Amino acid sequence: MQKRTEQASMSVSSVMSYRRVLKALMLAGAVCAAAAPAHAAERAKNVILFVGDGMGVSTLTAARIYEAQQRGADGASNLLSFEHFPDLALVRTYSANSLVTDSANGASALLTGHRTINGALGVTDQIRAGDCASAKGQAVPTLAELAKKQGRSTGVVSTAEITDATPASLYAHTPSRRWQSDSDLPPAAKDAGCVDIARQMLDIPKAQQLDVMLGGGREAFKPEGRQDARDLVAEWRKATGGAYVETGSALAALPGDQPRVLGLFAKGNMLRESQRLAAKADAPTLTAMTTKAIELLSHNPKGYFLVVEGALIDKSHHANLAGDALNETVEFSKAIAAAAALTDPKDTLIIVTADHSHGLTISGGARETSVLGVLPGNDEDPAVALDGKAIPILMYATGPGGPAKGEPRANPDPANMRQVAQAAVPLPSAAHTGEDVAAYARGPNASAIRGLMDQPAVNQVMHDALGL
């Protein structure tokens, strides 16, 4: 009894001691913070935001392994281009109405500094999903709009439709990201005066329009994809005198001093890089679009603001195409490397982050095993699950790779791992996940990317760097 009493006394003493130490550390941190001098944000002439759609931490890890293995190197010790950037943070990604964000709210938080509800773009959280009337008077300015008021040039590059959530977050203010064309607008929204996203991009005053727009989504701008039969491309060309291109070769041939450029390289989303190569399509890579955008925007002596989205990371994840998701992440890394080589860290802030994560998991594997393969195992430890089947290294929590109702899990084929990866729970499309994402930064005010940040705080870093 006495021994137990002594142990209890020691336990209480240890807890009290821990609490005293913790209190002292917190007090010391507060004193240091109070004593630290306040520094004005470093100003940047140019800001480039790279958004890897769905590029969670597990995607980054798997992609760096994959990238090295493709060239016969060790994957575990590899780094993607932007992982060399000196400043790093974790970013919280919830929305105003959900623990897990979609791309619309995620991009809006990054581009406006305001969280909204999932599915909404460029508006406050005081709206109702798909309710046109509730969005009246709730628009919030985007960084692109504010940069234009300063006289800077602005641009967007995406491998998705240019009216999709992330690129649209630069210019659209709507309660529904799905209203890309007037064909998508419900009658109630039209009666209430809401305008589709494609029209919002091209109907706004010329002084506020983006200078460079490169991506997919041609259908929403052409008469055949619109109920009003308007040719928004022709109207834009007449109003701005800008250049319009539909192929990679046409983009490459454009003079670097062209002030206005619209490039729509696909009817919908652009092809994944594996598809583009297989089809030998005359479409630009993400790197080609990024370098051309920087070339075009750099002619403004006041600087520019550019957003580049690696959209097909997310599109691949939704289909459980793990191989393509990693390959698109590598393509994203190449575009960032090109941008870093073309810009000076003394005057250009580059931030790389994601809007949300995906449920990709890495379940082990020997260092020399292909990350797209299965656990190799050995005689003493066979790499099979309780169902007697092989264990893929990459799996998803949800998605089309799940077993059909009442059916057992398929045995993964190591020779065919670029196809749909296995998922635990079958869904038509893999769901986003809510863990923090990473942010990397280089250039003026990059040191403000640190610690654990909220997504709107990343907007503030760019806002301060631009002196808005």
103 is catalytic: yes
CA 141-144-146 angle, to 5 degrees, is: 55
- Per the CB < 8 A criterion, the answer to whether 157 and 306 are in contact is yes
User: What tokens appear for 97 in the block?
Assistant: 């109405």
Burial of 417 from C-beta contacts in 10 A (0-12 / 13-18 / 19+): buried
User: What tokens appear for 429 in the block?
Assistant: 């499309």
User: What tokens appear for 137 in the block?
Assistant: 């008077």
Residue entry with tokens 């798997």:
62
| Own/partner pairs, 75-80, CB within 8 angstroms, 24+ separation | 75/367, 75/371, 76/367, 80/329, 80/330, 80/333
3-state secondary structure of 86: coil
User: What tokens appear for 27 in the block?
Assistant: 């007090």
Q: Taking the mean position of all CA atoms in its chain, how far away is CA 374?
A: 28
- Per the CB < 8 A criterion, the answer to whether 90 and 441 are in contact is no
Handedness of CA 67, 72, 78, 80 (dihedral sign): negative
Sheet with 394-399: strands ordered across: 360-362, 394-399, 423-426
- Per the CB < 8 A criterion, the answer to whether 41 and 296 are in contact is no
Q: Which residues contact 104 (CB under 8 A, 6 or more apart)?
A: 116, 118, 119, 120, 121, 165, 168, 169, 177
Active-site hit among 81, 95, 103, 357: 103
Beta strands 394-399; 360-362: pairing state: antiparallel
Q: Directed axis angle between helix 455-465 and helix 103-112, to 10°?
A: 30
Angstrom CA distances, 100 to 166, 353, 359, 433, stand at 16, 16, 12, 6
Q: Taking the mean position of all CA atoms in its chain, how far away is CA 116?
A: 17
Backbone angles phi, psi at 26, to 5 degrees: -65, -40
Distance (Å, whole) CA 420 – CA 320: 5
Q: Which residues are catalytic?
A: 103
